[in-house]
């Protein structure tokens, strides 16, 4: 691409590194920005810079925040005796959207994955255990994904937290809304049967 | 592959690995009886309502319908034959299962049929669901796994001078693929001592079925020796450390003191 100006090539290359963006999409984005106003381009550049410069991890729950302690951890209205453990910061959004949970969170930043060589040391497990030391927490809700790695992590946490006398619960597993019974897998179906409720 | 003109084909397979592909797809590594290791895409498997979803999680024995793609097969239908639930609900057993899968994945190549290896894998996963002592299941698997891949260790004669081994402490050499007598072991740099009991058990396990192997009572020091020996040999062959071994060791240290845990 020697006949294209260097700044344009550079931007195309940068876009190309993003997930789900191929060379054609990268080109389209770069040329779109070239045509757009100066303010628009600057706003995008500033937003990207701010993302890295102004965000950090909450010192309590390790969610992404722009201050030392995140909004949830600072909120005295919330129930601080409950901690919901999630894999990634993005898992908090759907839980908040339900409007059913009023406790606090703890982000592990990953799951235990023997296949990829990720052990408990790489996750924020030690930090979770130290939050449980003062005895104010009565329940830990493990909300890791219902797959092999999420289950491994959940079982590991139960083994660590159970002996402390704190209730450890796991998000219920069952049939998702809109699914068909015929196509459900054994594990989901058997857990859905075991956890059936009167209605 | 069988090279037929049909676009779809059916096979049973054990899912040994999955990685996320794009937003909602999964790239699976399967081990099948007829085609050996295969890679296939499960489209939309990450969506909550997916028809494939839980049928394509690792440590699952499924019946799959695959469509031939340009590079990779695409899974069109799936049905679970055995989900190994006892394995997935127990931290220790699951770790053992994942170790077995990692060994299979790293020592096999795609499209290379190895029916005995598939049968061994399937039987091992069933045994891990039931066994009280998962260490014996793992050692029996490792020894026979090496055999089906062509790395069967020589345990009757010295690998160097070919003389029958005497019932004294001999030496196991990973690079020679067998046991050295004490006089030959001086020539070999990397070798570790192997006790008479360990050698006896390995010889027995090499030639008997699992039901007989299981009846042998193995003391904890001997169990540790067998583990170090076989895993050392496998590590030498692969020329790398296995990630799932680190996890097994971590579990041994932190939460499990007495073999296994069950809910």
User: Nearest Cβ partner of B48 from A117, A148, A176?
Assistant: A176
Distance CA B165, CA B157 (A): 5
pLDDT for the residue numbered A2: 67
In a domain, A178, yes or no: no
For residue A88, give the 3-state DSSP assignment. Answer: coil
Q: What is the CATH number of the domain that holds B70?
A: 2.40.50.140
Question: B65 and B90 share a domain?
Answer: no
Helix spans in chain A (H): 6-16, 23-35, 38-53, 71-74, 92-98, 125-131, 148-161, 186-194
In a domain, A122, yes or no: yes
- What is the residue range of A132's domain? 74-170
Q: Which residues of B touch A188 (CB under 8 A)?
A: 53-54
Question: A10 and A94 share a domain?
Answer: no
The residue count for chain A: 199
Counted domains in chain B: 2
Question: A78 and A42 share a domain?
Answer: no
Q: Which residues of A touch B59 (CB under 8 A)?
A: 148
Distance CA B78, CA B54 (A): 10
Q: Which residues of A touch B88 (CB under 8 A)?
A: 148, 151, 187
Q: What is the CATH number of the domain that holds A162?
A: 3.40.1360.10
Cβ of B91 within 8 Å of Cβ of A152? The answer is yes
Question: A81 and A40 share a domain?
Answer: no
Q: What is the CATH number of the domain that holds A29?
A: 1.10.8.420
Question: B46 and B143 share a domain?
Answer: no
For residue B187, give the 3-state DSSP assignment. Answer: coil
In a domain, A65, yes or no: no
pLDDT (average), residues A99-127: 90
Cβ of B95 within 8 Å of Cβ of A152? The answer is yes
In the predicted model, is pLDDT for residue A194 greater than 60?
A: yes
Q: What is the pLDDT of residues B13-46, one digit of tens each?
A: 999 998 888 888 899 999 999 999 999 999 888 8
In a domain, A162, yes or no: yes
Question: B64 and B96 share a domain?
Answer: no
Give residue B163's Cα distance to chain centre: 32
Last residue of a domain, one of B61, B83, B105: B83
CB B58 within 8 A of CB B18: yes
pLDDT (average), residues A134-149: 91
In a domain, B157, yes or no: yes
Rounded to a whole number of angstroms, the distance from the CA of A142 to the nearest CA of chain B is: 15
Q: What is the CATH number of the domain that holds B125?
A: 1.20.1440.120
Q: What is the pLDDT of residues A155-182, one digit of tens each?
A: 999 999 988 889 999 998 888 887 788 8
In a domain, A194, yes or no: no
pLDDT for the residue numbered B32: 95
Counted domains in chain A: 2
Binned at pLDDT 50, 70 and 90, residue A199 comes out as confident
- What is the residue range of B160's domain? 86-254
Cβ of B22 within 8 Å of Cβ of A152? The answer is no
Rounded to a whole number of angstroms, the distance from the CA of B119 to the nearest CA of chain A is: 22
In the predicted model, is pLDDT for residue A86 greater than 80?
A: yes
| Best mutation target, A20, A94, A121, A155, to test chain B (most B CBs within 10 A) | A155
User: Nearest Cβ partner of A115 from B17, B51, B91?
Assistant: B17
Higher pLDDT, A116 or A92: A92
pLDDT (average), residues A136-142: 93
Question: A37 and A94 share a domain?
Answer: no
Rounded to a whole number of angstroms, the distance from the CA of B73 to the nearest CA of chain A is: 21
In a domain, A193, yes or no: no
Question: B15 and B120 share a domain?
Answer: no
Rounded to a whole number of angstroms, the distance from the CA of B110 to the nearest CA of chain A is: 19
Binned at pLDDT 50, 70 and 90, residue A137 comes out as very high
Question: B54 and B90 share a domain?
Answer: no
CA within 13 Å, CB half, B94: 28
Distance CA B30, CA B118 (A): 11
In a domain, B206, yes or no: yes
Please identify every stretch of chain B with a pLDDT value under 50, giving residue numbers as ranges.
1-3, 257-263
pLDDT for the residue numbered B260: 43
In a domain, A198, yes or no: no
In a domain, A86, yes or no: yes
């Amino acid at each position: 691409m020697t006949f294209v100006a260097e700044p344009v090539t550079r931007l195309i290359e940068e876009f190309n590194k993003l997930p789900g963006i191929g060379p054609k999409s990268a080109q389209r984005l770069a040329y779109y920005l070239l045509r757009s106003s100066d303010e628009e381009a600057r706003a995008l550049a500033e937003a990207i810079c701010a993302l890295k410069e102004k965000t950090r991890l909450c010192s309590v729950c390790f969610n992404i925040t722009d201050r030392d302690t995140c909004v949830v951890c600072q909120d005295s209205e919330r129930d601080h005796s409950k901690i919901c453990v999630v894999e990634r910061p993005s898992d908090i959004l759907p839980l908040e959207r339900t409007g059913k949970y009023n406790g606090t969170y703890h982000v592990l930043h990953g799951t235990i994955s023997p296949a990829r060589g990720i052990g408990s040391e790489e996750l924020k497990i030690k930090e979770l255990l130290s939050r449980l030391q003062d005895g104010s927490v009565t329940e830990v809700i493990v909300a890791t994904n219902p797959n092999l790695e999420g289950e491994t992590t959940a079982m590991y946490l139960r083994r660590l937290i159970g002996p402390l006398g704190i209730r450890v619960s796991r998000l219920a597993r069952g049939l998702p809304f809109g699914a068909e019974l015929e196509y459900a897998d054994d594990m989901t179906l058997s857990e859905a049967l075991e956890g059936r409720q009167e209605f | 592959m069988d090279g037929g003109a049909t676009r779809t084909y059916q096979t049973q397979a054990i899912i040994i690995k999955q990685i996320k592909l794009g937003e909602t797809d999964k790239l699976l590594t399967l081990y099948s009886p007829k085609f050996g290791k295969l890679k296939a895409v499960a489209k939309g498997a990450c969506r909550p309502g997916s028809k494939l979803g839980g049928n394509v999680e690792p440590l699952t024995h499924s019946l799959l319908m695959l469509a031939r793609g340009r590079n990779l097969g695409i899974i069109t239908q799936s049905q679970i034959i055995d989900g190994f639930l006892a394995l997935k609900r127990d931290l220790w057993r699951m770790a053992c299962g994942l170790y077995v899968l990692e060994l299979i994945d790293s020592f096999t190549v795609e499209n290379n049929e190895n029916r005995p290896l598939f049968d061994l894998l399937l039987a091992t996963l069933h045994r891990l669901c039931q066994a009280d002592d998962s260490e014996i299941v793992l050692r029996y698997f490792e020894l026979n796994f090496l055999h089906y891949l062509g790395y069967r260790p020589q345990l009757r004669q010295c690998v160097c001078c070919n003389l029958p081994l005497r019932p004294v402490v001999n030496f196991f050499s990973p690079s020679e693929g067998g046991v050295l007598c004490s006089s030959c072991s001086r020539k070999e740099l990397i070798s570790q001592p192997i006790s008479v009991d360990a050698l006896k058990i390995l010889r027995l396990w090499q030639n008997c079925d699992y039901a007989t192997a299981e009846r042998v009572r193995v003391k904890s020091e001997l169990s540790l020796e067998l583990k170090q020996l076989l895993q050392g040999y496998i590590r030498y062959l692969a020329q790398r450390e296995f990630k799932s071994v680190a996890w097994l060791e971590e579990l041994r240290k932190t939460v499990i003191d007495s073999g296994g845990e069950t809910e």
